[in-house]
Structure 1
Amino acid sequence: MIEEEYIRLIFGLKLKQIRTDKNLSLFGLAKITGLSKSYLNEIEKGKKYPKRDKIVTLAEALETSYDNLVSLKLDKNLAPIGEILQSRILKEIPLDIFGIKESDLIDIIAEAPLKVNAFISTLFEIAKHYNLTRESFFLAALRSYQEANNNYFEEIELQVEKFAKAYSIDLSKRLKVSDLEEILIEEYGYTINNEELTQHKELNNLRSVFVPSSKTLLVSSETDDSQRLFIYAKEIAYNFLNITDRLYTFSWIKFDSFDQVLNNFMASYFAGALLIPRKELVTALKSFFEEKIYNSQKFQTLMYRFTDSPETFFQRLTNVLPKDFNLKNLFFLRFSHKAGRDYYQLTKELHITNLLEPHANERNEHYCRRWVSIRTLGEIAQEGKENPVFDTQISSYVHTDNEYFVFSSATKDPFRSGYYRSIALGIMISAHSQSKITFFNDEKLKRSRVGVTCETCAIADCKERVAPPRALERKERFQLTDKVVEAIREKYK
């Protein structure tokens, strides 16, 4: 059934279009129909739907048919607006988390439908050009939500403390798998199955599947303790936070709504905060940041104190660094790579303050091989190492004056044979960050000038380059053309 709200809005859009096409103001239409200007305004904004007799009056005044006015069919100028309204995308994204009311967007659409139509059409064209999917759109919306909140959510942090107190969990000690498994089984009635998933080769990329009807949690026997801890912690989060609209696979293979994507993030945040408690982590980081010389072994010791998963640890740093150290100019990247290929896929990114470099590229360009995250990934893939590869560097971006201290770790992908992944956390170097992290002043730290992609990079003597700077050369040609044209115009004016 088509929603009444949609019917009202379409009627209002059509009424306004016909009225403006006839150069009639609201005042003018009110005068020739006998209907009040305020009433007509509410109709055009989709807030009211007129009765049959008033529709007849409007049709006669506008010299159009009754059927045309009540039809839900839009002409080509308004069709894209109809598509986006009927697609329910405004319903799928919880606009309230951004402080936006759906009615506000509808008012904007009703106020200037042709301009909004042009804008929507432009977005659709960009999406098609860059092969953006519904999933990409939702994940971009989630990143924006994280960035808007500096990726720190106090209410979840408090829920973790509340959970720990309720179940007598000592957050100062590293959790064991048995601690969380017992809670899932005894408190939430779960059944843990460790054999089923391994019997299906099609599911070898999944860590877990949850069957809600029987509360059965299928966990791959290939998971290590750190992965199993995270899975259990997420399941506890879904139950303790009373989240019902959720994903049932990890890592997920599909989702039905933005709410599921958001809830998956909230459960993951809870899991990270439970496994790596904020207070203990902040205390340990303060001590580590006071070191005058960066020591990789001390960093790894710090990480392994909390978890064996570098990704979980780096993700957790993106929560506490902005909140407890006021270090907001940072980024997080995750790459995937198959040994033997010259292709690196950026599978996850987060920029707390929306700075653009480094960033994902959807044009199949080659990411800068001087990035420490690419270098560690190439090293572990080439040498086939079993243990994680750690490295750091100060990256200076040629397009800007920005410098970042970047931590990176590369590991084997436990669920994809022949694949590897790397993560990187970059913190912008500034007077503020140098006052917080003493070893940023260490002159012996490795430094490297980097670009974003080879195609856009201006470093002429780069030995690591794997593609010519085509995009940059094209931009320079356009600039030169513009310069010559301006000179000719000046000569003959």
Structure 2
Amino acid sequence: MISDNDIVKLILGFKIKHLRLKKGISYQALSEQTGLSVSYLNDIEKGKKYPKPDKIRALATAFEMDYDDLISTKADKKLLPVIELLNSGFFKYFPTEEFGFNVEKIIDVFSNAPDRISAFISTILKMVRSYQIEKEHFYRVALRSYQDMHDNYFEDLETAAKEFRKEAKLAVVPSVDSLTTILQKEFSIKLDIHSLARNEKLKTFRSYYSAEKKTVYLNEHLDDEQKRFLLAKEIGFQYLKLTERSYETNLNKEASFEKLLSNFKASYFGAAVLMDADDFVKEIEKMAVSTKWKPELIQSLISKYQVTPETLLQRMTNILPKHFGIDNLFFIRLDGREGLIDYQITKELHLSGLHQPYQNQLSEHLCHRWVSISSIKNLKTQKQPFYIDAQISEYWQTDNAYFCISIAQPSRFDNQNGSSVTIGLSMNESLRGAFNFIKDSNLRKRTVHTTCERCSISDCEHRVAPPEIIDRNNLESELENELKKL
């Protein structure tokens, strides 16, 4: 991430390099005209130096333009998209170093091909405006890409969690009391489990940390599994010394990428503390030898580690790629709306490519054949605390198939709705070689699609919306064929 001052230097450097190349002036010639050394000019163009007023005047004179025009963000049409991008805050909040490139190299590319690059950037910016994509949404997508780059396994966080467990002498399954004691003794942080739930405006908040009062506020209506995770996560913030962070469970709209990344690191650390990698690998190995699929395989893990279904399945996305070679997978959290017709993906992770299903911003109806949705419906009919189900989802008219495990729960603050978390594993040789129960002939198979609007299955008993997009595409094909007949 770079500062506002750095952005100002980058914009001036970008404009000067563009003007120099446009006018065909070499470094040496510009040096002779301005009295500035070649190395100094190079530093200006790279955004490393910002010249003093007299030097800017010399440059403006060399380019035959006004002083104010040179230092302003005004530029010709070809440069405006790049300058708009630089001013947008993207580079200010986006950690380019985490993705292995620096802004200096990007500006160099922009300067050498301004026409094409500006057209491309302009297109992206217009798409962002058209679809009302906010920077927070972009940051979340970037975080998921960052996780994908590392197969969602981070050795430094695993090591830190293991060291912490050893230092704190934690039990295999640490209790709420032991984690509370650690926060109090090691970090001088108090716990308040009453204030949130008793405040009418804050009663739906799960947690909040007050740095001023050094107090963690937890909602007293949370399960011990939720409290355990939130306490372990707060220990993560403290132990890892993550200062750029959020203080409430749900990140607010002012969240920067750094806050999202810190939240992810603290959550990862917390899950690794609750489920030690070495021990968790052994448990999955035990599960893998079973020749039959049964929900008890997952239930036993939830019972042993006393964690939420979401924490368990997310932990599997850390361990499966690293220790079992299963890196072609997705994780989604799905929230059901009233009437169990509309469902929304509220969290997702895709490793080794974009899988199905995925978040749709076009208000389309997700396919109800996915186990993510059927598990919520079954939960409603059977009135269980949570419902575990699995199926092999075969994607309509393709060779793509996924083994999906889904766990549904009723919504904590709204009994009319429910949610589910699902891990989907691509049906490939790595998966078949790792888990014996994949060969179970009794495993349910279902043909699925993305959304009803895009599905051409004619006799689907689960359809909740007409295939509008398919119908529109068919109509366009018909019209094209009629035109060819003329």
TM-score (norm 1): 0.90
- SS of corresponding position for 1:174: coil
Q: For 1:395 and 1:240, how far apart are their aligned partners in 2? A: 41
Alignment map for 1:17-32 (pairs within 5 Å): 17-18=18-19, 24=24, 26=26, 30=30
Tell me, yes or no, if structure 1 residue 449 matches structure 2 residue 447: yes
After superposing the two structures, state which structure 1 stretch, 348-357 or 113-122, moved more. 113-122
After superposing the two structures, state which structure 1 stretch, 12-21 or 99-108, moved more. 12-21
- Tell me what 2:86 maps to: 85
Q: For 1:55 and 1:246, how far apart are their aligned partners in 2? A: 40
Q: For 1:28 and 1:373, how far apart are their aligned partners in 2? A: 65
Q: For 2:193 and 2:53, how far apart are their aligned partners in 1? A: 64
- SS of corresponding position for 1:392: strand
Given residue 68 of structure 1, which amino acid in structure 2 is its aligned partner? D
- SS of corresponding position for 2:196: helix
**Cα pair 1:247 1:255 within 8 Å, conserved:** no
Q: Per the alignment, do residues 60 and 194 of structure 1 end up closer, same or farther by CA in structure 2, a change over 3 Å counting?
A: closer
Q: For 1:51 and 1:235, how far apart are their aligned partners in 2? A: 47
User: Which residue, 411, 416, 421 being the options, matches 1:423?
Assistant: 421
TM-score (norm 2): 0.91
**TM-superposition CA deviations, 1:326-373 (whole Å, max 9, x none):** 001111010111332521010011111113322111111110010010
- Tell me what 2:300 maps to: 301
Q: Per the alignment, do residues 241 and 466 of structure 1 end up closer, same or farther by CA in structure 2, a change over 3 Å counting?
A: same
- Tell me what 1:185 maps to: 184
The runs of 5 or more residues in structure 1 that have no matched partner are: none
Q: Per the alignment, do residues 106 and 21 of structure 1 end up closer, same or farther by CA in structure 2, a change over 3 Å counting?
A: closer
**TM-superposition CA deviations, 1:276-311 (whole Å, max 9, x none):** 121122111112111111122233123321124111
Q: For 1:380 and 1:12, how far apart are their aligned partners in 2? A: 60
Q: For 1:343 and 1:176, how far apart are their aligned partners in 2? A: 38
**Cα pair 1:372 1:392 within 8 Å, conserved:** yes
**Cα pair 1:337 1:344 within 8 Å, conserved:** yes
- Tell me what 1:337 maps to: 336
Tell me, yes or no, if structure 1 residue 437 matches structure 2 residue 438: no
- Tell me what 2:97 maps to: 96
- SS of corresponding position for 1:197: coil
Q: Per the alignment, do residues 70 and 330 of structure 1 end up closer, same or farther by CA in structure 2, a change over 3 Å counting?
A: closer
Given residue 133 of structure 1, which amino acid in structure 2 is its aligned partner? E
- Tell me what 1:270 maps to: 269
**Cα pair 2:329 2:355 within 8 Å, conserved:** no
Q: For 2:217 and 2:238, how far apart are their aligned partners in 1? A: 17
- Tell me what 2:196 maps to: 197
**Cα pair 1:388 1:412 within 8 Å, conserved:** yes
Q: Which aligned runs of 4 or more in structure 1 are off by greater than 6 angstroms?
A: 34-39
Q: For 1:27 and 1:481, how far apart are their aligned partners in 2? A: 59
User: Which residue, 372, 385, 391 being the options, matches 1:393?
Assistant: 391
**Cα pair 2:136 2:255 within 8 Å, conserved:** no
Q: Per the alignment, do residues 49 and 189 of structure 1 end up closer, same or farther by CA in structure 2, a change over 3 Å counting?
A: closer
- Tell me what 2:241 maps to: 242
Alignment map for 1:280-299 (pairs within 5 Å): 280-299=279-298
Q: For 1:212 and 1:34, how far apart are their aligned partners in 2? A: 53
Q: For 1:421 and 1:205, how far apart are their aligned partners in 2? A: 16
Structure 1 residue 473 displacement after superposition: 3.1
Question: RMSD of the alignment, in Å?
Answer: 2.6
Q: Percent identity?
A: 36
Q: For 2:27 and 2:240, how far apart are their aligned partners in 1? A: 53
Tell me, yes or no, if structure 1 residue 12 matches structure 2 residue 10: no
- SS of corresponding position for 2:352: coil
After superposing the two structures, state which structure 1 stretch, 433-442 or 60-69, moved more. 60-69
Alignment map for 1:372-411 (pairs within 5 Å): 372-381=371-380, 383=381, 385-411=383-409
Alignment map for 1:51-200 (pairs within 5 Å): 55-170=56-171, 173-200=172-199
Q: For 2:277 and 2:312, how far apart are their aligned partners in 1? A: 11
- Tell me what 2:345 maps to: 346
**Cα pair 2:34 2:62 within 8 Å, conserved:** no
Q: For 1:280 and 1:453, how far apart are their aligned partners in 2? A: 39
After superposing the two structures, state which structure 1 stretch, 87-96 or 419-428, moved more. 87-96
Structure 1 residue 438 displacement after superposition: 0.8
The runs of 5 or more residues in structure 2 that have no matched partner are: none
Given residue 353 of structure 2, which amino acid in structure 1 is its aligned partner? N
- SS of corresponding position for 1:209: strand
Q: Per the alignment, do residues 61 and 180 of structure 1 end up closer, same or farther by CA in structure 2, a change over 3 Å counting?
A: closer
